[in-house]
A and B are shown apart, each in its own frame.
Chain A
Amino acid sequence: MSEESTLDEFLGPKLTNTQMGIVVGGSLSSGLEVKINSKLSIERLAVGRYVVVEGRSGRRFFGLITDISLGSINPDMQRRPPDSSEEFVTQVYSSEVAFGSIHVSPMLMIDEDDDELRPIKTIPTHFSPVVEASAADVARVFGEEDETHFYVGTPLEMETVQVNLDLSRFVERSSGIFGKSGTGKSFITRTVLSGVIKSRLASALIFDMHNDYGWSVRDETGREFKGLRQLFTDGRVSVVTLDEDTSRARGSKIDRVLKIGYGQIQPEDVEMLSGLLGLSDVQVGALYYLRRRLGKDWISKLLQEDDSSELQGLLEDGRIIAGTLGAIQRKFEFFRRMDFLVPGEGDDALEDIFRRLTSGTSVVLEFGRFGDTLAAYVLVANYLTRRIHRRYVHMKNKAAGGKEEQPKPLVIVIEEAHKFLDPTIASHTIFGNIARELRKYNVTLLIVDQRPSAIDDEVMSQIGTRVTCLLDNEADIRAVFSGVSGVSALREVLARLDTRQQAIILGHAVPMPVVVRTRDYDENFYASIGVLEGNALRDGAIQGSETLFGD
């Protein structure tokens, strides 16, 4: 007897073509209880798999296994278990008296006379048979890959089926990619952004804290992976750096260096750093006063080493006390350490970035060594976003008046998003506004974060599409599902994802929640994006030269 058949004998038949069980209870809000077939081993099942419930009226219901449990007809059995040394007795018990059950969250339904997938509005009747969804069933739900649908992974144990993200819906609302550190958030983000850039549906402004997106990056094993700039060599991606030395040392091709002049910084840009710089409410209030009194060069004047008569005058006015001024000056020493902040007016980087974004070019802003300084990241992200958003609002308003074209949709990618969207500040920061106003001004966020629980609830409830890798903190899991109805049962699925290459995708861009093994970010992926390497590159070059110069 082969090993496989011995296993089958032990575990029961494989799921394919086997009725898994029958519906024995449940509700639309809490999901369905399914008693599993006694011939089927519960050990063959896994949360996150798709099932189809064949309703008695001809309707078919698509659902997801969200929990697996052991039940018994008689609750006393737990206190009075059978003698497990007798195999016969155990086998007799393990079917009708003691049985396995699964909890299924129904997601979609298809009417008998209509082939269209519809959101779930009712549930199948008692004793409707439940079967595992076939590859064809699942493929039908997620459709074909095309210009606006991007292949991001495969459902668990269905390697032949593609899960395609509807990118037009993905960029329509703000989205989130969540997961514990080390679960592959950056790879998934890079994959999704590749799709967005390839589709030309939106430009992306990526605040690349850890230099993960622009140029090549290595994983823990030392394997190198291409960055977005290498995948799109036709100019669709620009890399702007804050730290030219680090970018050049990494061999990164950069398109420009960003320098921000002290004169360009407004008190609003600094206010968001209050927590990080330790500015009190009084000191934050004083910033506005100082800006008004000192003018455009307010930061330069505050950073002057020698005593300034202008500052002395402020103290003499009595509107600000020496202690407050001194504290602000000490805390502003931070600006001096940030090399990308320069005295004066800075350059036209902002205008250049805006021009690139509105012409359809995505911009990766590399932070280099400044990525380790959270205050620098928050300052720059806030600085650029506020100004770019303002311009988009202006463009959009002009477009509404018929004076200009609609601005190209923009996706702003921020990491460590909870630092920008903390409940105490989210209501009055630009990121909170963007998340709340949805696509009103063609600007949306893609937030990448490991602590979704630290993000403001109102903002989380506005996140359209959520791609979530493993999370095990209860508060984070709860936060990911906030504002999405009918998916609370998925929390068991989420808590049991593998630490690598598995994610649950739910929301606006997928017809139903799906647990995916994310697509490999490798040569095949590069090829699908259009990158040619090795022999293919050589052949392409030969063909090109023949076309140009003949044989």
Chain B
Amino acid sequence: MAGDPTLIGRVTRSSTLGFVGALKSPEPEIPVFGMFCKCEAQRGKSDVLGVIYNINIEDDDLTRQIAAAERPTEEELADQQYVRQIPIEFEALAVGYRLTEAYFYTLPPQPPLALAPIRPMKSDEIVQFTNQFEFIPLILSASNLPVDALLAACLRKASVARPRQERQNFLLEAGRYCAKLLSHDLPRMDSFLRILCFEEKSAI
């Protein structure tokens, strides 16, 4: 957000499974699909950790009218894109929480409250959290989500948070962990590894 660069948005609704945040307009890199984010819960006692799996831009009557207009002005377009009346929503899947500096790889005890600030996780936090792969089953078990693409994207984010020389090994070990979970479904595993392989090439 323009005023606070460490803030992605604020919670509009939440559950232990995840939370939805809203912001006025997006920055080029915030929020993005697969991004790790955190949000205070239990009155600051814990942080719920999530990965963003959906970014939703809704329309309104005026947007529809301008879209149908023959020649919208630059000012009208900029007004609709960056000074919106209806906020942009993003949805995050809860993949763990942090309590007294320790990471837990299960669903949080309590969801964040409405309007709680949602912030991106810093690189060192991402590295620390993803040193263990137990968050992966939470992603793979989510229903009605593009879990394979989401998992590949967040593994890529976790790899680029690491020094260059560690990235390949991280993706390899993560890939092996995923393969164990997906081994019952070889076609799905193949397609997931193809995505991850692409991520691996672009991350190195």
* Cα distance, A97 to B179, chains bound together (Å): 7
Cβ-defined contact, A88 with B172, below 8 A: yes
Judge if B184 is at the interface, Cβ distance under 8 Å.
yes
A83 CB to closest chain B CB, in angstroms?
8
Which residues of A have CB within 8 Å of B113? none
- Of residues 69 through 128 on chain B, the ones whose CB sits less than 8 Å from some CB of chain A are none
Does B186 touch A at the CB level, under 8 Å? yes
B47 contacts the other chain (Cβ, under 8 Å)?
no
Bound: A95/B175 CA distance, A: 10
Q: Is A96 among interface residues, defined by CB-CB distance under 8 A? A: yes
In contact, B186 and A77 (Cβ under 8 angstroms): yes
Question: Is the CB–CB distance between B180 and A73 below 8 Å?
Answer: yes
Q: Does A306 contact B (CB under 8 A)?
A: no
Number of A-B contacts (CB under 8 A): 49
A89 and B193 form a contact (CB under 8 A): yes
Residue among A38, A88, A89 with most chain B CB within 10 A: A88
A86 lies within 8 A of B179 (CB): no
- Which residues of B sit under 8 angstroms from A73, Cβ to Cβ? 180, 183-184
- Contact residues of A between 75 and 104, Cβ < 8 Å to B: 76-77, 80, 82-83, 86, 88-89, 91-93, 95-97
The closest CB in chain B to the CB of A89 belongs to: B193
> Smallest CB-CB separation from A38: which chain B residue?
B176
CB distance from B41 to the nearest CB of A (A): 34
CA distance A122 to B62 in the complex (A): 80
Q: Give Cα A74–Cα B184 distance, bound, in whole angstroms.
A: 6
User: Which of A83, A91, A96 lies in contact with B183, CB distance below 8 A?
Assistant: A96
Q: Is the CB of B197 within 8 A of A93?
A: no
Contact of A97 among B172, B180, B194, B197 (CB under 8 A): B180
Contacts of B172 in A (CB 8 A): 88, 91-92
Q: Point out the residues of chain A lying under 8 angstroms from B194, CB to CB.
A: 89
Q: What distance in Å separates the Cβ of B185 from its nearest Cβ neighbour in chain A?
A: 9
B183 and A92 contact, CB distance less than 8 A: no
**How far is B183's CA from A91's CA once the two chains are assembled, in angstroms?**
14
| Min distance, Cβ B8 to any Cβ of chain A, angstroms | 32
Does A88 lie within 8 Å of B197, measured CB to CB?
Answer: yes
Interface string of B171-197 (1 = CB under 8 A from A): 110011111100110110110011011
A92 to B193 alpha-carbon distance, docked (Å): 8
Q: Roughly how many angstroms separate A80 CA and B188 CA in the complex, as a whole number?
A: 12
Q: Which of B142-189 contact A (CB under 8 A)?
A: 171-172, 175-180, 183-184, 186-187, 189
Q: Which residues of B contact A86 (CB under 8 A)?
A: 193, 197
Residue of B nearest to A83 (CB): B190
Between B171, B172, B183, B194, the greatest number of chain A beta carbons within 10 A of the residue's beta carbon is seen for B183
> How many chain B residues have a CB neighbour from A under 8 Å?
19
Residue contact B183 to A89, C-beta cutoff 8 Å: no
* A82:B190 contact, CB within 8 angstroms: yes
User: A residues within 8 A CB of B187?
Assistant: 80
Contact residues in A for B186 (Cβ distance below 8 Å): 74, 76-77, 80
Give bound CA distance, A95 to B180, whole Å. Answer: 9
Does any Cβ of A come within 8 Å of B40's Cβ?
A: no
| Contact A74 B197, beta carbon cutoff 8 Å | no
B183 touches A97 (CB 8 A): yes
Distance in angstroms between the alpha carbons of A549 and B11 in the assembled complex: 111
Between B179, B190, B200, the greatest number of chain A beta carbons within 10 A of the residue's beta carbon is seen for B179
Complex: chain A residue closest to B180, CB-CB: A96
Cα–Cα, bound, A74→B176 (Å): 14
**A358 and B184 alpha carbons, distance in the complex (Å):** 72
Residues from chain B with a CB closer than 8 A to the CB of A88 are 171-172, 175, 193, 196-197, 200
The reply to whether B179 and A93 contact each other, CB–CB distance below 8 Å, is yes
Cβ of A84 to closest chain B Cβ, rounded Å: 12
Select the residue from A80, A83, A92, A97 with max chain B CB neighbours within 10 A. A92
Residue of B at shortest CB range from A87? B197
Pick the residue among A38, A89, A95, A96 that contacts B197 (CB under 8 A): A89
**Residue on B nearest A73 in the bound complex, by CB:** B183
Chain B residue at minimal CB-CB distance from A82: B190
What CA separation (Å) do A96 and B179 show in the bound complex?
Answer: 7
Q: How far is the CB of B109 from chain A (nearest CB, A)?
A: 32
Measured in the bound complex, the distance between the Cα atoms of B80 and A116 in whole Å is 85
Query: Contacts of B184 on A, CB cut-off 8 Å?
Result: 73-74
Q: Nearest 5 CB-CB pairs, A to B?
A: A92-B175, A96-B180, A73-B183, A97-B183, A88-B197
Chain A interface (Cβ < 8 Å from any Cβ of B): 38, 73-74, 76-77, 80, 82-83, 86, 88-89, 91-93, 95-97
Taking beta carbons and an 8 Å cutoff, which residues of B are in contact with A?
A: 171-172, 175-180, 183-184, 186-187, 189-190, 193-194, 196-197, 200
Can you name 15 A-B pairs with beta carbons within 8 Å? A73-B184, A74-B183, A76-B186, A77-B186, A80-B190, A86-B197, A88-B200, A89-B190, A89-B197, A92-B176, A92-B193, A95-B176, A95-B179, A97-B180, A97-B183
